[in-house]
Amino acid sequence: MTSRPGPLDPTATFYVAGHTGLVGSAVARHLRDRGHTHVVGRSSAELDLRDREATFDFFAETRPRYVVVAAARVGGILANARHPVGFLSDNLRIQTNVLDAALEHRVERLLFLGSSCIYPKHAAQPIVEEALLTGPLEPTNDAYAIAKIAGIHQVQAVRREFGLPWIAAMPTNLYGPGDNFSPTTSHVLPAMIRRFDDAVTHASDHVVNWGTGTPRREFLHVDDLADACVLLLESYDADQHINVGWGQDVSIRQLSQMVADVVGYEGGVEWDTSRPDGTPRKVLDVTRLSTLGWRPRIPLEAGLRSTYAWYRDHAGAPRR
């Protein structure tokens, strides 16, 4: 008989795919803080999830009872636009291998994590879950979005055919400790942190941001997402994927000023309008999640300050 959602067994083997990344590390940290004693993971150097045989061997060896699929190839607008083949192929292979191996071993509960970029470029705001596949995708990240949409449908197919209470969640834009601050592959918020910090470090009197600054985005701290993941595994059981976010957004121009204030940058800001803006606005309708009694706890300004402190400790070179 299939076990339905309820309290998680803290002694059960819990596999977090992608446990060294931004999301996976937060989920693993949260689980351990809650008393889970057997949280397992493998780095990409130890286990290439694109390798089907190796993935199946890992599941046969560890036999996890619970799984969170946070492993993915991710990147910002530039990386997605330059390498759509890799973002499509790698993510399809990663998630298909993990989901197929989990099905072979009848993993009791599984949470597949996607992204809010799955929704149409011009979806009505705030975006409800039912907006999926109702319009064209944003061209700069359509390959990644298609892969994530396929993952949602695979989870739904497993539910229909095998009756397992697997679920899928679509978080909004995420940030926090462990983020990617690369100048070429990062998302907008960590890219700004690095850019403004470099300007202060090198006493630069101007910073250049991409686009017009007018698009609006929603940002959620990964520690809040990790908390939501556990809640969903314990209390959510439905075919429909579920949005995870604040339901509030800011313009990129407002975000730029907030980052500048946190970093202590007082120079000028220019906007390179030859660079793409991406989707005009993207804020999620979180009604479905709110009915479960969950709300984020970390306001954006506080999250920015703690993330910047982490960056200075782990990724930023000492100021000269």
The first and second tokens of residue 112, run together, are 């597949």
Model confidence pLDDT, tens digit, residues 164-201: 999 999 999 999 999 989 877 788 999 999 999 999 99
pTM: 0.93
In order along its 320 residues, the chain shows pLDDT tens digits of: 455 789 999 999 999 999 999 999 999 999 999 999 999 999 999 999 999 999 999 999 999 999 999 999 877 666 777 888 989 999 999 999 999 999 999 999 999 999 999 999 999 999 999 999 999 998 988 999 999 999 999 999 999 999 999 999 999 999 999 998 987 778 899 999 999 999 999 999 999 998 999 999 999 999 999 999 999 999 999 999 999 999 999 999 999 999 999 999 999 999 999 988 878 899 999 999 999 999 999 999 999 999 999 999 987 544 33
Backbone angles phi, psi at 264, to 5 degrees: 90, 25
The first and second tokens of residue 84, run together, are 């759509």
Model confidence pLDDT, tens digit, residues 82-111: 888 989 999 999 999 999 999 999 999 999
* Per-residue confidence (pLDDT) for residue 98, from 0 to 100: 98
Annotated binding-site positions: 18-24, 113-116, 148, 171-174, 187, 195, 210, 217, 277
Angle between helices 188-201 and 300-314 (to 10 degrees): 60
**Please, are residues 270 and 207 in contact by the beta-carbon 8 Å criterion?**
yes
Q: Can the peptide bond before residue 171 be classed as cis, meaning omega within 30 degrees of 0?
A: no
Q: What is the full DSSP assignment across 110-143?
A: EEEE--GGGS-TT--SSBPGGGTTSSPPPGGGHH
Q: Which of 119, 144, 175, 311 is catalytic?
A: 144
**Length in residues, the chain:** 320
**Please, are residues 128 and 285 in contact by the beta-carbon 8 Å criterion?**
yes
The residues with which 66 forms a beta bridge, in sequence order, are 14, 109
* Per-residue confidence (pLDDT) for residue 2, from 0 to 100: 53
Rg, the chain, Cα only: 19
Longest dimension (CA), the chain: 65
Question: What letter does residue 3 receive in the DSSP assignment?
Answer: P
144 is a catalytic site residue: yes
Domains recognised in the chain with CATH numbers = 14-177+219-248+284-298 (3.40.50.720), 188-215+250-281+304-314 (3.90.25.10)
CA distance 199 to 316: 12
Q: Where are the alpha helices (DSSP H) in the chain?
A: 22-33, 52-62, 77-82, 84-104, 142-162, 188-201, 222-235, 252-263, 287-290, 300-314
* Per-residue confidence (pLDDT) for residue 261, from 0 to 100: 97
The first and second tokens of residue 58, run together, are 């890992």
C-alpha torsion angle, residues 128, 228, 175, 272 (rounded to 10): 0
CA distance 250 to 220: 12
Annotated binding-site positions for NADP(+): 18-24, 113-116, 148, 171-174, 187
